[in-house]
Homo-oligomer: A and B are copies of this chain.
Amino acid sequence: MTEPNQPRGPIGGEGARSLTADAIARLVGGTVRGDGSAAASGIGPLDRASSTDLSFLASARYADAVASSRASIILVSPELTDVPGPAAARVVVAKPHEALLSLIPHFYPSTIPAATGIHPSAVIGRGAVLGTGVSIGAHSVIGDAAVLGDGIVIEANAVVGAGATIGAGSVLWPGVVIYPRVEIGKRVFIHAGARIGSDGFGYVFADGMHRKIPHIGGCIIEDDVEIGANTTIDRGSIDDTVIGAGTKIDNLVHIGHNVRIGRLCLVMAQVGISGSARIADGVILAGQAGIGGHTSIGKGARIAGQAGVFGDVPAGESWSGYPARPHRESLRATAALFKLSGIMKRLERMLDKTS
């Protein structure tokens, strides 16, 4: 369908902005090799860049791609300055990746949804309070007595429950559901289909059936959190579920009832955090890791992908494996296991001899 090497225009059809290699070098504090008047109007990876693109080389691993790249300008790190290739200009800079990120706003408009006002099909509940500049997309529903801060953008088909509060500058992509009374801070970004404040999984077995525990607790998302697509965060049963300021959560993550996550954590895709777990500040949970109920993960700890954590993890440690252990122990155990399968027959023979 799409030609992979067609020119990559700026997003949204707005007028392209072009920068010369000289201008780029000034912006990122780098030096030009080649034609300083060479220009770029977009950004692309080496193998997909067009002749009007800026690209970058930050690792020797991808050096071969420079020779066949059509990019007009390439950001390179000092030790890779002389990798052969046809680009009209190179800009030598200590950290090409960070330099590139700083250049994105010069080429592309923001990817955060813009304010568009309140669509006539949106339904606003009784007593809802809307700040200035709030945008609400088509077919979205705002519950009774909800409070929306200034400049919030809510896209199409989202639902904000009764009594929920959302702080200024937050963004809800399409189809997000916020349950009643959830409290969301400022500048919180919530991607499509995330569900915030659903009832937790709590039952008491009585009279021959699992009786549902009413979930009267809160669900508090602090400032500057980002929540990925289709992620689910349950409200508390009696306690609250709390996500600390600046924590970033990826897609399809499950966070159970009464969980408290600290500040500045990174929770990657498909992680599951069971009820009442405590995650301290600055923790990193890699993809598909599972955190058991009522466990504590200490400050700055790192949990590897798919790790299964069934007990507490001390601050600052890296754990992996299933069941999870300190990463070095897991590595040693895995290494021993694969050695074992090579020596098993000899071991059994030896046991037969000696016993």
User: Taking beta carbons and an 8 Å cutoff, which residues of A are in contact with B?
Assistant: 1-2, 4, 8, 11-13, 43-45, 48, 98, 100-101, 104-105, 107-108, 110-111, 119, 121, 123, 137-139, 141, 145, 155-157, 159, 162-163, 167, 173-175, 177, 179-181, 183, 185-186, 189, 191-193, 195, 198-199, 201, 203-204, 209-210, 212-216, 218, 220, 222-224, 226, 228-230, 232, 234, 238-240, 246, 248, 250-252, 254, 256, 264, 266, 268-270, 272, 274, 287-288, 290, 292, 305-306, 308, 310, 321-323, 325, 329, 332-341, 343-344, 346-348, 350-351, 353-355
Contact = CB atoms under 8 A, between A and B. Distances in A.
A269 B272 contact: yes
Given A192-B177, A290-B287, A346 B355 contact: yes
Contact of A215 (B111, B145, B215, B220): B111
Contacts of A305: 274, 290, 292, 308, 310
Contacts of A11: 163, 180-181, 216
13 contacts: A1-B167, A12-B163, A101-B204, A111-B215, A191-B195, A210-B246, A232-B252, A252-B252, A305-B308, A333-B338, A333-B341, A337-B337, A350-B355
Given A163-B12, A251-B254, A337 B338 contact: no
Nearest to A294: B61
Contacts of A223: 1
A257 to B, nearest CB: 10
A272 B274 contact: no
Number of identical protomers = 3
Given A123-B119, A183-B1, A216-B111, A254 B232 contact: no
Contacts of A220: 1-2
Contacts of A270: 254, 270, 272, 290
A195 to B, nearest CB: 4
Nearest to A324: B306
Given A1-B220, A254-B251, A341-B336, A230 B193 contact: yes
